[in-house]
Amino acid sequence: MTYTFSKLRIVFLIPVAIITFLFNANYGFSEDINHSFIAFGGDTFVANSDGKISWQIPKSSRDGWMLPNGNVLLAVSKGKEYPGGAVVEITKENKTVFEFKGTQSEVNTVMPLDNGNIMFTEAGPKPRLVEISREGKILVDMPIQAQTKDHHLQTRMARKLPNGNYLIPQLLDKVVREYSPDGKIVWEVKTPNWPFTAIRLPDGNTLINCTLGNLVIEVDPKGKVVWSLSNDDLPGKPINDACGGHRLPNGNTVITSHHAKANETKLFEVNRDKKIVWTYTNPKSASIHHFQILETNGKPISGKPLR
């Protein structure tokens, strides 16, 4: 009887294990680590810690931020509604409460500033970084020294630094540059492939995601690579167009694979030892361009997001 019961129990548990595995594979569930996040890309949505979507935003986006008031600030992709892209702020009820329409080829990044103003970049024949007030007044209009042959591959996730300068990845130029407010280049580093995300870390290093190179590098202030991550370091080679990145307070890094398809790994977290500690997949075909981790194990991310 004991043998028969154990055998039946094993047979029963195998399907349960398979179901649990498939659930985890589809929704990125982890017993030790879970994140809620907002994703920007072909679909713009908020996912809970169990991976289930809690808010779908009816805009295709390039970049964005969850604001303290619960609204979302977006760099909206160009399309019929916004031929040159746009900066918009949307409430939980999907009501647009702020809008600034792009004037060139596309708006490809956005950032809320501490003083309430908004920074964004425009790609086009005259690539530029702009700061505007909530009334839509242009306060900063800084030319970006980038190639103009391919507007789409001019810049990506530009960020304003605590020192007042701007850190700008320039894709086709294969360089990350730091500009002073008057437009002078005060620091730069060449990259082995198109840089998409450049994150200035508290210790002065810079974390850079190189898109189609499927590569992440961290460089010191002199440009020396002090840490790197590629598919050669990871089982299953999950990096498929390393676009957005987010350095977490614990020192781990979350990376998106922009070209991941349905049921493939779209986000994953690695520690300093290059071990994958969390993954997220979903059955949707739309890709994740960039993202912001909102909570880890139910606790909000502390400090300003490094992304």
307 residues of the chain, pLDDT tens digit each: 333 323 333 333 334 333 333 334 444 444 589 999 999 999 999 999 999 999 999 999 999 999 999 999 999 999 999 999 999 999 999 999 999 999 999 999 999 999 999 999 999 999 999 999 999 999 999 999 999 999 999 999 999 999 999 999 999 999 999 999 999 999 999 999 999 999 999 999 999 999 999 999 999 999 999 999 999 999 999 999 999 999 999 999 999 999 999 999 999 999 999 999 999 999 988 899 999 999 999 999 989 999 9
Separation in Å, CA 21 to CA 3, 26, 28, 48, 264: 27, 9, 10, 19, 14
Q: What pTM value is reported for the model? A: 0.88
Tell me which DSSP letter residue 157 carries: B
For the chain, domains (ranges, CATH) are: 32-300 (2.130.10.10)
264 CB burial (10 A radius; 0-12, 13-18, 19+): middle
Count the neighbouring beta carbons within 10 Å of the beta carbon of residue 14.
Answer: 10
3 state DSSP class of 198:
strand
Identity of residue 132: I
Residue 264 tokens, joined: 């493939």
Rg (CA), the chain: 21
Q: b or e along 267-305 (b: 16 or more beta carbons within 10 Å of the residue's beta carbon)?
A: bbbbeeeeebebbbbbebebbbbbbbbbebeeeebeeeb
